[in-house]
Amino acid sequence: MKRQWDAEELIENFTLTPEEIALLDNKSEVNRLGKAVLLKFFQMEARFPRKAADVPSMVVSYIARLLSLSPQQYKEYSFDGRTIERHRADIRLFFGFRKITSQDKKDLKTWLCEKILAYDRTESHLEAAAKKRLRELKLEPPSPERLERLIRSTVSKNEKIFCVGIFQQIELITLKKMDALVNTQSGLEDEQNQFKQSVFNFLKTDPGKTSLKSILKEIEKLQCIRELGLPTKLFTNVPPKIITHYRRLCCKNLVKTENPCGRS
């Protein structure tokens, strides 16, 4: 939740309705204020604050003023124990939400694979999509750490499926040629004839300054790739964003391989 709110935003987003006021605990002023803050926070975020400081002080002050209470009483509200658990349960019921289950998590993973990961791998987009989906289904999301683990697990599973799908399209003879690319025993002599480098390392070399020699060298690289016999329609059904994602990932890994100590 953002920290700064102007007067109009506070009125629009945090004013309590008669139905919401009726839901509050009348036995204790501290619990009355605490439950009101939880309720309006949940209404905005579709989740509960994990600690008192998660709620901006100006929001607490506005809600306290509506209830003719001191905002200082919010500091006495306990975020542990039976009272807050009961308040959370009442608020979930009020908004028609429920806690997320193991089956819900499996369903969310499947949905992410089919609807989001098929077109986008951006971490922020995945998190936003997952939260939006949970809100639509009226499911209280897991903690940020657990949601992050769920998304990472889903991405890992999806990438394995993607890679298997690509692998299955490549003929055995092409796979053998690809293996040969990293073989240094039958590799290429370097320019100083000091050692043999794999064809793969040759393909990774920087083209250098533009010259006839560098152009011929790049043509040789292209010829090496064409001789692999990769299917021409290997990535036909793969969205451009996904191809861009893997291209960036490959470039990142190549930089790590060439510069493992992080030196420039």
Q: What is the rounded average pLDDT of the residues 46-73? A: 96
Bridge partner list, 197: 188
| Structure token digits, residue 157 | 């599973």
Instruction: Give the tokens for residue 54.
Output: 């998660």
CA-nearest of 33, 42, 29 to 1 is 42
How confident is the model at residue 241, as a pLDDT? 82
pLDDT at 187: 52
Beta strands in 73-182 (DSSP E): 98-99, 139-140
In the chain, the percentage of residues whose pLDDT exceeds 70 is: 91
Distance in angstroms (rounded) separating the CA atoms of residues 228 and 233:
14
Rounded distance between C-alpha atoms, residue 246 and residue 53, angstroms: 40
CA 91 to CA 50: how far, in whole Å? 15
User: What is the Cα–Cα distance from 254 to 256, expressed in whole angstroms?
Assistant: 5
All residues at 6 or more sequence positions from 124 whose CB lies less than 8 Å from its CB, including other chains: none
pLDDT in tens, 7-26: 999 999 999 999 999 999 88
Q: Smallest Cα–Cα separation from 187: which of 172, 173, 205, 170?
A: 205
Per cent of the chain over pLDDT 90 is: 63
Q: Quick one: which of 188, 217, 221, 185 has its CA closest to 203? A: 221
Which amino acid is present at 158? Answer: N
Pairing of the two strands 98-99 and 139-140: parallel
Domain ranges of the chain: 7-96, 99-167, 172-258
- Which tops the pLDDT comparison, 242 or 254? 242
Rg (CA), the chain: 29
Strand partners, 140: 99
3-state secondary structure of 189: strand
